[in-house]
Amino acid sequence: MDNDMAMRTFQGVKAKFALELTGFNGTPKMFRSRFREADDNVHALYSARQIRDIRMKLLSIPLDAVRPLKLPPIIVDRTAKGGVGKTTVAGNLGTCLALSGHKVLEIDGDAQATLTGLFGIDWMKEDITHIGELMRRCAANQPTNIRDAVWPVYEGGMLDIIPADITMADDSWLMGALNREQAFVRLLEKEIEFFSQYDVIIVDSAPGSSLLATTFMLASKLLLAVVTPEPHSIAAMDVLASNVQEINSAFSKREQQLDIHIVVNKYNQTKKPHNEMLSTLLARYPEKINDVIIRDFVGFLREADPNKIVDNGTVLEKEPSSVGARDIIDLTKSLIRRYDIRLADHRAVGFEAAA
């Protein structure tokens, strides 16, 4: 890994934003005087790590608290349809979770490597060890050397990514692997010491069905299904729902049946078909749809520039006061509750309760 690229040092967020992300309910002045960690000379910027420390203090969690040796909640995004915003949601959600103090591991599970590029890693130039390769090594009983595959996005292990590149498309090794559908679960179990250091793991998967995607689904309890309010979305949801049903009957011995949680993205309230489609989705999948809906917002298109990948970044970083960031913050708050994501495994109040 190139040293210059190894750390895209995150500068932090302004006090106003930090106030919301910590869940502190005093005045901004009180916040500044109580939490002087941020350097006032750089306009009171708080890093993800500092926000974690502040929240731990507010919650009386010891700063050196370590998570127990168990897997954190694993969010896997899935949709039968491409281009609906899976990667956008995965990237922004991970950023927001980290900026609200959670330790986050993102896994790029798509050979298109869009999430990798979103975090400023130019996979065409860099030496990448992707999750498929780690699973292959694990299945072949070879040392996985997992830490070498991890790229830090924010310092202090607040946001790490296992990136992908196009070579992950070759999953022929998986076809012949024993118990192949469990290849990802086995890697998680074998490397539990590594994976259990995070408060949440987010896997961004590729559209459509593939063996690789199935391995990710089996590690999850609740799939995050991103849909757009368009005619094809019902069909795409139905395909995913029947896929989940198949998995549940094929792996009926699983501790818990797999379920779906739906997030609607790219919603434009002025479009009649969008509202009609939303009603249809609600009628067909009641209680599975998140009440936070992400609006159609052009800033999401500005996140990634194929000609200058190192400048890429999520809306939450680039345009933190935008409507897009607002929707992402609201979605993150609701998913913290839905997936029971905890700071160092401690149930937190504050950010969660403030929603």
Ligand X SMILES: Nc1ncnc2c1ncn2[C@@H]1O[C@H](COP(=O)(O)OP(=O)(O)OP(=O)(O)O)[C@@H](O)[C@H]1O
Determine if 83 is a binding residue for ligand X (CB under 6 A).
yes
Shortest Å distance, C-beta 305 to ligand X: 11
- Cβ neighbourhood burial of 349 (10 Å; 0-12, 13-18, 19+): exposed
- Residue 162: phi and psi, rounded to 5, are -100, 105
State the Cα–Cα distance between residues 81 and 66, nearest whole angstrom.
39
Are the beta carbons of 204 and 110 closer than 8 angstroms? yes
The residues in 262-301 that bind ligand X, with binding defined as CB under 6 A, are 265-266, 294, 296-297, 300-301
**String marking each residue 99-138 x if it binds Mg ion according to CB under 5 A:** ---------------x------------------------
86 binds Mg ion (CB under 5 A): yes
Q: How far are the Cα atoms of 21, 53, 300, 330, 333 from residue 354, in angstroms, in the given order?
A: 10, 18, 26, 10, 8
Residue 205 interacting entry, from Mg ion, ligand X, none, C-beta within 5 to 8 Å by type: none
50 is a site residue for Mg ion (CB under 5 A): no
Check residue 165 for interaction with ligand X (CB under 6 A): no
Helix (H) / strand (E) containing 29: helix 28-34
Closest Cα to residue 237, out of 278, 182, 271, 268? 278
- 74: β partners: 201
From the CB of 3, what's the least distance to ligand X, in Å?
Answer: 29
Q: Contact 91/118 with Cβ under 8 angstroms?
A: yes
CB 72, min distance to ligand X, A: 23
Task: Choose between 12 and 324: whose C-beta lies nearer to Mg ion.
Answer: 324
- Our finding on whether 78 is near ligand X (CB under 6 A) is no
Cα→Cα distances 111→108, 164, 198, Å: 8, 6, 24
Minimum CB–partner distance for residue 152 and ligand X (Å): 22
Q: Is 174 left (phi over 0), alpha (psi -120 to 50) or beta?
A: alpha
**Nearest-approach distance from CB 300 to ligand X, in angstroms:** 4
Q: Which lies closer to ligand X via its Cβ, residue 49 or residue 86?
A: 86
Nearer to Mg ion, 77 or 199 (CB): 77
Binding status of residue 85 toward ligand X by CB under 6 A: yes
Judged by CB, which is closer to ligand X: 19, or 107? Answer: 107
x/- contact string, 206-245, with ligand X (CB under 6 A)?
-x--------------------------------------
Place of tokens 């896994």: 107
87 scored as a contact of Mg ion (CB under 5 A)? yes
Chain residues in the site for Mg ion (CB under 5 A): 86-87, 114
